[in-house]
Structure 1
Amino acid sequence: MRNLNLVHLNGLRAVEAAARLGTLQAVAEEFGVSPGAVSQQITKAEAQLGMVLFDRQPRGLVPTEQAAPVLFRLADAFRSLSEAVRLAGQRDPSILTISVAPVFAARWLVHRLDRFTATHPELHLRIDATTRLIDLGASDVDLGIRVGRGEWPHVKSELLLQQEIFPVASPALAERLHHPADLAAIPLVIDDRSMFSWDLWLRAAGVPDLACRIGHRLNEASLCLDAVMAGQGVMLAWQTLAGDAIRQGRLVAPFGLRVRTGFGHYLVTAPGQRQRPAVAAFVRWLKDELADSMASLDRHMPPAGPQPPAL
C-alpha cells in the first residue's frame, strides 16, 4: 500500500464525495469548507493520480469514463473506512442521536421530551438541532426529522405530517380579523427563509389580489412567531410551529382555512440501515405524540369551511 503515500487522503475524500454528491457546493457543505477549497483538493488529487476524474460542467461535476472504476473503488473503500470507524467507536446503545431542524425542536419537540423519558427511562436522547443535511450513513446520527418534499438523495424518508399553513395573531389583533380581507389592515410578519409565500393562502381564501402591508421581515420562523405573540403583526404558521401557542391561548388562528404547502415533516434514516430498538421506540412515541398533538390542535382551531364574502 505504499502507493497511498503518493496521494493525500483529503484529496481522495474530496474526490469520493464529489462523485457521490455531484457538486462542489454539496461537498463543501458536507465538509464544512468552501467550494474553492474542495476544488483545490480535487485538482491536487487529479495531478497526483495522473488522470482527469471529472468533467466540469455548469450543472456540476460529471465523472469521466476512465475515472469510473477508480471512483467505484474509492466509494467502496470509504464505506469500509466509515464502518471501521463506527465499529471502533461503538456507542452506548441507550443513547439515541436525532438531527432535527431548530424550529421544530424549540417549538414542539423539546416540550415533550419528558414524556418520552417517562415512557422509556432506559433511553437518553441527544438532540442535534441543525438545518444542515448530514450524511446519515457516515455519522453518529440515528435518524433525522426534516421539512421538505421527502426527495433528499441517499436517505430513506417517511412522511410524518403534511404541512398546513394558516394565519395566526395575538388575541388582541385577532379580534380585528373576521374575514380574510381584514388582513389588509394588519402588518404581515414575513419569514425570509420560508419555503412558501402568502400568495398560496390568499388564493385559497379567495382574495388573491389583496393589498397587504409588510411589517417585520425576519430570517427565522421562531423569531417571527415571537414577534406575532408580542402583537406586532400576523404570520403564516403551521401546525408544529404554532400549535402549542394556540392551545395555550397565546395565539389565535382567526380563520378555519388551512392550506397544504406540498411540504411535510419527514422521518429520515440511512437506507439499508438496520433499525436499533431505541430508534423503533422513539419513532413509535413520535408518531403517537404527533397524532395526539394534531387532534388537540383541531379542537382549538375554528371549523374549516367556505369563507364568507371577503369584499
Structure 2
Amino acid sequence: MQNLNAIPLSALRTIEVIARTGSLRAAAEELGVTPGALSQRLAKAEAALGQVLFTRSSTGLQPTDLCAQMAPRLTAALAELSSVVSDVEARGRNTLTVTVAPIFASRWLIWRIKRFNDLYPEVSLRVLPAVNVVDLDRSEVDVGIRVGDDPALGVGATKLLDQRVFPVCAPEIARQITTLDDLFRWPVIRETEALYGWQDWLAAVGAAGRVLPPGPTYADASLCLDAAMTGQGIFMAWESLASDALARGQISAPMDVRAKTRAAYWFAVRNHSRRNPSVWHFKRWLETELGCAVQSWTAQHGADAAPAS
C-alpha cells in the first residue's frame, strides 16, 4: 500500500464524489466546499495520478473510461473506511441511528422511546425523520424502518408487521354508526384522491367499488387523523398509528373490520451495522411494541372480524 503515500485520501474522495453525483456543484455541496475549490482539488488529484479522469465540456464534467471503471471501486472502498470510523465512534458512545417516516416518528415512536431507554440505558438512540428512503449503505444511518410494498429498495430487510387499515372518527360520530350505510352518511377525509386503504377495506366488508362521499383533503396523514378527532368525518387509518389515539379515547373505530393491505413494516439494516448488538436489541423491542399496539384488538375481535351489514 506504499502507493497510497503518493496521493492524499481527500483527492480520492474528490474523484469519487464527482463521479457519483455527476455534477461539480452537487459534489461541492456534499463536501462542503465551493465549486471553484473543488475544481482545484480535482486538478491536483489528476496531477497526482498522472491521468485525466474527466473531460470538460459546456455541459459539465464527463468521466473518462478509466474513471468510469475506477469510480465504483472507490465508492466501495470509501464506504468501508466510513464504516470503520463509524464502528470506532459507536464503541465509544454506543449510538444507534434510526431513520423513520415523520408520521411514524411523531405518532408512534416518540411515545415509546423512553421504554427503550429504560431497558437499554447504555444505547443512545438517534432518530432521523425522513420522507425519502435513505440509502443505508451510503450513509451513517444504522437502521431504517420502512413502510411499503417494496421492503428496502435493494437492501435486505425483515418484515416487522403487516399493515392493516380501518375507518376511524370522533367518538360522537361513531355512536351514530351501526351499519355500513350509516358510515357512508359522513364525509370521507382524504389524504390524497388515491384514497389509500379504502379499496382494501371495502373489499374486506363486501362493498368493493362503492362510491365514497366527498370530504376534506389534507396532504398529510397526520393532519387527516387530527381532522377525524375533531369530527370532520371518517378517515382510513393505519392500525399502528391510530392505536394510541384509540386508547386515549380521542377517536373511535365504528366498525370491527381491519383490512390487511399490500404494505408492511420492514426493518432494514446497514450492512456494516449488523455486528452491532444494539441493532438487534432495538429490533426485538420494536417487534414487541408493534405487537402490543395491535394485540388488544385482535384478542377481542379475532384476526378477521365479520362486518356489520
Query: TM-score interval w.r.t. the shorter chain?
Result: 0.7 to 0.9
Q: Structure 1 residues 170-179 or 222-231, which shifts more? A: 170-179
CA drift of 1:94 comes to: 3.0
Deviations 1:138-189 (CA, angstroms, capped at 9, x unpaired): 3332212111124433422110010011111111111222222323211111
The secondary structure found in structure 2 opposite 1:167 is strand
Aligned partners of 1:247 and 1:300 also within 8 Å: no
Distance 1:96 1:2 in 2: 36
What one-letter code is carried by the residue in structure 1 that aligns with 2:113? L
Aligned partners of 1:146 and 1:265 also within 8 Å: yes
Match of 2:291 in 1: 291
Distance 2:88 2:138 in 1: 13
Distance 1:98 1:299 in 2: 31
Number of residue pairs aligned between Structure 1 and Structure 2 = 282
Distance 2:262 2:282 in 1: 26
Relative distance call for 1:211 and 1:183 in structure 2 (3 A) is farther
Instruction: Find out whether 1:226 has 2:226 as its counterpart.
Output: yes
Distance 1:94 1:195 in 2: 42
| Unaligned segments of structure 1, at least 5 residues | 19-23, 53-62
CA drift of 1:233 comes to: 0.8
Identity of aligned residues (%): 33
Match of 2:20 in 1: 16
Match of 1:55 in 2: none
Q: Structure 1 residues 117-126 or 250-259, which shifts more? A: 117-126
Aligned partners of 1:170 and 1:228 also within 8 Å: yes
The secondary structure found in structure 2 opposite 1:298 is helix
The secondary structure found in structure 1 opposite 2:178 is coil
Aligned partners of 2:97 and 2:143 also within 8 Å: yes
Aligned partners of 1:253 and 1:301 also within 8 Å: no
Aligned partners of 1:150 and 1:266 also within 8 Å: no
CA drift of 1:227 comes to: 0.7
Aligned partners of 1:164 and 1:258 also within 8 Å: yes
Instruction: Find out whether 1:258 has 2:247 as its counterpart.
Output: no
Aligned partners of 1:150 and 1:158 also within 8 Å: no
Within a 5 Å distance, the mapping from 1:67-82 to structure 2 comes to 69-82=69-82
Match of 1:120 in 2: 120
Match of 2:47 in 1: none
Distance 2:14 2:155 in 1: 24
CA drift of 1:127 comes to: 1.4
Within a 5 Å distance, the mapping from 1:139-288 to structure 2 comes to 139-192=139-192, 196-271=196-271, 273-288=273-288
Distance 2:134 2:294 in 1: 28
Q: Structure 1 residues 233-242 or 263-272, which shifts more? A: 263-272
Distance 2:193 2:127 in 1: 23
Aligned-residue Cα RMSD (Å) equals 3.8
Distance 1:232 1:226 in 2: 9
Distance 1:258 1:201 in 2: 7
Aligned partners of 1:100 and 1:127 also within 8 Å: yes
What one-letter code is carried by the residue in structure 2 that aligns with 1:15? A
What one-letter code is carried by the residue in structure 2 that aligns with 1:247? A
Aligned partners of 2:53 and 2:66 also within 8 Å: no
Aligned partners of 1:191 and 1:218 also within 8 Å: yes
Rg larger in 1 or in 2? 2
Relative distance call for 1:142 and 1:122 in structure 2 (3 A) is same
Distance 1:127 1:192 in 2: 27
CA drift of 1:86 comes to: 3.3
Distance 2:271 2:172 in 1: 48
Aligned partners of 1:107 and 1:240 also within 8 Å: no
TM-score (structure 2 length as normaliser)? 0.75
Aligned partners of 1:96 and 1:142 also within 8 Å: yes
Deviations 1:269-305 (CA, angstroms, capped at 9, x unpaired): 1135433122222222111222222212435669843
